[in-house]
Structure 1
Amino acid sequence: MRIFWTFFWTFLLVNMVTYVVSSMIGVTYHFATGATLAIIATVLILLIAQLIPNDPVHH
């Protein structure tokens, strides 16, 4: 379920950013570009979450 919600929000936010940026620079909005970037961002977010340790660091 965690992966679904991560993908869901990443998909919405990345497509929103893609739309706004493409509008600002005057190019055509492509849904496929936003979807591809959302998949890549989701994988990176989940990978980073796995790399961060959960245990506190003992000095």
Structure 2
Amino acid sequence: MRLLWTFIWSFLLMQMMSYIISSMTGSTYDFGQATIMSVVVTVLIFIISAILPNEPAGQHH
């Protein structure tokens, strides 16, 4: 379920970002490219979350 929601949010945000950036630069909006970018972002999010530790940092003086 976590994978599904992560993909849905990254899909929506990447589509929005791709549309806005293509509109600002005057180029054409490409749905396929934005979808591929959302899959890549989803994979990167899960890789980063697997690398980061879950335990607290401990005492810092």
Instruction: Report the TM range for the smaller structure's normalisation.
Output: over 0.9
Aligned to 2:29: 29
Q: Which residue identity lines up with residue 49 of structure 1 in the other structure?
A: S
Number of aligned positions between the proteins: 59
Q: Which residue identity lines up with residue 47 of structure 2 in the other structure?
A: L
Aligned to 1:55: 55
Displacement of 1:57 in angstroms is: 3.0
Question: CA–CA distance in 1 between the matches of 2:36 and 2:57?
Answer: 36
RMSD: 0.9
- List alignment gaps of at least 5 residues for structure 2: none
Max Rg structure: 2
Aligned to 1:10: 10
Displacement of 1:58 in angstroms is: 4.0
Q: Percent identity?
A: 44
Question: CA–CA distance in 2 between the matches of 1:49 and 1:21?
Answer: 27
Q: Which residue identity lines up with residue 51 of structure 1 in the other structure?
A: I
After TM superposition, the score normalised by the length of structure 1 is 0.94
Question: CA–CA distance in 2 between the matches of 1:58 and 1:28?
Answer: 50
User: 4+ runs of 1 displaced by more than 4 Å?
Assistant: none
